[in-house]
Structure 1
Amino acid sequence: MALSRALILVVLIASIFSTTMVSAKDFVVGDESGWTTWFDYQSWASNKVFRVGDTLTFKYVAGKDNVVRVNGSDFQSCSIPRTSIVLSSGHDTIVLTTTGRRWYISGVANHCKIGQKLVITVLPQQNSWFPSPSPSPSSVPAPEALPPSDSPWTASVPRRSMLPKKLFNLFHKN
């Protein structure tokens, strides 16, 4: 009896985890071109869907460029506030932890003014219980429909599911 209960539990957990795994994507900004001048980052981002849990990787020559997260008005004017965190490793990875708009620019010379800037909209994770195909870019909400986000861009610890504990308790009631 205990063996069959354990077998059922293993099969149930395996089937749940196989359908609930949400795979995050790593986007290399600019693909092979990387983070550079004279590249159309808006066209690059236009056919991509960014979700909470995904990462952006900015690749460039360290010491020759950088990445700065700014707000919408600083993005438009290519301004860098004094309190901005400037990334400059040449291989910067940013975890998208919240929904909303994100603006990134190069803080070197006139790079931003000649197009080295990226704006994206981060959507919630997909519902893992009922997987659905990624929305087409035309079905993604207009950027104005999402609240602006000026949250910190440091990675937070992902929330863990309570499902395994609930399943354990379900099969081990006293």
Structure 2
Amino acid sequence: MALGRGSVVVLLVCFFVLNSELVHAATYNVGGTVGWTFNTVGWSRGKRFRAGDTLVFNYRQGTHNVVAVTKEVYDKCSTPRRGSKVYRSGKDRVRLAKGQNYFMCNFPGHCGSGVKIAINAA
């Protein structure tokens, strides 16, 4: 089926609109040069995050982990629910969803010592 000139223009516009989100996606190293460690809780202050941005959690494997949690679990630093996504590689890459995103380390005492972040992605 042949496409008319108008159809080609519409397809190109759709292509650029759909891919513009990828062009604007950013990658953030959580905790900066120090990485995912104690007192990281304030690291996100002053930063603007968007859905599709990637957070990179760098830490020595076996010293921490990263668990995607609910606000309730985050606020209480409680044990995450069964089925929570747990990352353990030491070089974890997590793409942000639109809205609130909560992450913590669930090693004993780590969350309470600030190894947690809350990110609001527009």
Secondary structure of the residue aligned to 2:112 is coil
The aligned residue for residue 89 of structure 1 is 89
Post-superposition CA distance 1:68-126 (Å, at most 9, x none): 01101100111221221211000000112x31101100011110011111001010xxx
1:67-106 equivalent positions in 2, closer than 5 A: 67-79=66-78, 80-96=80-96, 98-106=97-105
The aligned residue for residue 44 of structure 2 is 45
Q: Which amino acid aligns with 1:32?
A: T
- Output the TM-score relative to the length of structure 2: 0.78
Q: Which amino acid aligns with 1:23?
A: H
- Number of residue-to-residue matches in the alignment: 106
Q: How far did 1:53 drift?
A: 1.6
Distance 2:48 2:41 in 1: 14
Q: How far did 1:30 drift?
A: 0.4
RMSD across aligned positions (CA): 2.0
- Output the TM-score relative to the length of structure 1: 0.56
- Structure 2 gaps of 5+ residues are none
Q: Which has the higher contact order (CA 8 A, sep 6+)?
A: 2
Identity %: 37
The aligned residue for residue 114 of structure 1 is 113
Secondary structure of the residue aligned to 1:76 is helix
Q: Which amino acid aligns with 2:81?
A: P
The aligned residue for residue 57 of structure 2 is 58
The aligned residue for residue 33 of structure 1 is 34
Q: How far did 1:41 drift?
A: 2.6
Secondary structure of the residue aligned to 2:73 is helix
Secondary structure of the residue aligned to 2:111 is coil
Secondary structure of the residue aligned to 2:44 is helix
Q: Which amino acid aligns with 2:98?
A: T
Higher helix proportion, which one?
A: 1
Q: Which amino acid aligns with 2:70?
A: N
Q: Which has more radius of gyration? A: 1
Distance 2:91 2:28 in 1: 12
Distance 1:73 1:53 in 2: 24
Distance 2:36 2:72 in 1: 21
Post-superposition CA distance 1:18-45 (Å, at most 9, x none): xx843211000001010011x2432x21
